[in-house]
Amino acid sequence: MAPTKVCQAASRTSFGGSIRQFHPLFGGTNDVSRSTFHGRPYGLRLKRIAYHGAPPIRWYDFRSDFLEGKMIVIVRPKNILFLVSLLAALAAPASVLAQAAGDAAAAEKKEFTPISGQAGKDVVWVPTPMETVGLMLDIAKVTTKDFVIDLGSGDGRNIIYAAKRGARGLGVEYNPDMVELSKRTAAKEGVGHLAEFIQGDMFEADISKATVLALFLLPDNLNKLEPKFLKLNPGTRIVANTFGITGWTPDLEQNVEGECRAWCKVILYTVPAPVSGDWKVGDERFQIIQTAQTLSGYQIKGRTSLPLQGRVDGNQIYFRVAGVNYSGTIKGDRIEGVAETKGKRTPWRAAKA
């Protein structure tokens, strides 16, 4: 009698060890001799077994081929009991995998809950009190025109509440669970289209689009980020919770009113335009030394040099030399403004030497 062909789906994988490893229906040990399936015909020898009280089965030959993504099992009719057992054995891993997939899906549905003080890559996570979040956004004067970035954004509250004021925002957080939590919260608050959260290293993040940075970081973190801050567009506001940037002069410091118990101080800075260097004004020149927003240096005319002191607020410059108050707007390699002395105002212009 011609062989009977039965198709059973199979993957291109190893089929090794005894079949009893796949299904408990096979009793005894070494029920099937070891064989490996790599898309080529292979043979198995089945020893005497009893299946649900059936008479013992003697040695039978079994052969299989791999063709067009199917495993073609070729048996003779007298081997049908073996075929039934084999198909049951092959079906068992699918059920196990299905159960495992169900368990994984259930675990995934369990929502992550952060814990205050949990360790992070560069800082531990401590949530900013909501009263402080509100004051930070108030002091920074966040509007719908702003793009707010938070580095080490935690559960996303700074960005989410900025988005609730109509601002767009980006939170950069190293912990992927916190990132997903932030996304879920933003969606629940109805601002998922404005608030974006990404997993990443805050020291590697691109912050060039920020008009406001809303931060709760330690001084060491802030100081390490200072070179990136100074490359931001002049006038960008940096609002910080409790800890400030070493060497920077705050524009404003304010404490949360009421019953705020910790993390209640808000500090505001404005990113200054770069003005270090020599500037020519007619036959004079100003030699300016800049440290963040603070200016020092000299007015040099001939062999005479007079000290100057001043500051930069965004792209606005103010300094005083020998009783004359200078103010102006920094426009790249030019400054245009007014010099005032004894109530008299005189226009002045300077060009980068």
| Chain segment 287-319, per-residue pLDDT in tens | 999 999 999 999 998 889 999 999 999 999 999
**% of the chain surpassing 70 pLDDT:** 69
> How many domains is the chain partitioned into structurally?
3
For β-strands 168-173 and 147-151, DSSP reports them as parallel
What is the model's pLDDT at position 226?
97
* Pair (303, 261) in one structural domain: no
Q: Cα-Cα-Cα-Cα dihedral of 6, 10, 14, 20, to 10°? A: -60
Instruction: Kindly tell me the sign of the dihedral angle through the C-alpha atoms of 99, 102, 106, 107.
Output: positive
Q: Which CATH number belongs to the domain containing residue 317 in this structure?
A: 2.40.128.30
Q: At which of 242, 266, 290 does a domain end?
A: 266
Q: Is residue 114 part of a domain?
A: no
* Pair (259, 297) in one structural domain: no
What is the model's pLDDT at position 108?
54
pLDDT in tens, 33-91: 333 333 333 344 333 333 344 444 333 333 444 333 434 444 444 454 444 455 555 55
| CA–CA gap between residue 72 and residue 74 (Å, rounded) | 6
Amino acid identity for residue 91 in this structure:
A
* Pair (224, 329) in one structural domain: no
* Pair (141, 242) in one structural domain: yes
Q: Is residue 295 part of a domain?
A: yes
Domain that holds residue 339: 277-352
* Pair (204, 304) in one structural domain: no
Q: Is residue 28 part of a domain?
A: yes
pLDDT in tens, 120-134: 787 888 889 999 999
Mean pLDDT of 339-351: 93
Please determine, for residue 343, whether its predicted confidence score (pLDDT) is greater than 90.
no
Q: Which CATH number belongs to the domain containing residue 167 in this structure?
A: 3.40.50.150
Question: And the tokens for 300?
Answer: 């040099």
| CA–CA gap between residue 263 and residue 7 (Å, rounded) | 68
* Pair (282, 238) in one structural domain: no
> Do 33 and 44 contact (CB within 8 A), yes or no?
yes
Q: Is residue 306 part of a domain?
A: yes
> Do 151 and 216 contact (CB within 8 A), yes or no?
no
pLDDT in tens, 195-229: 999 999 999 999 999 999 999 999 999 999 999 99
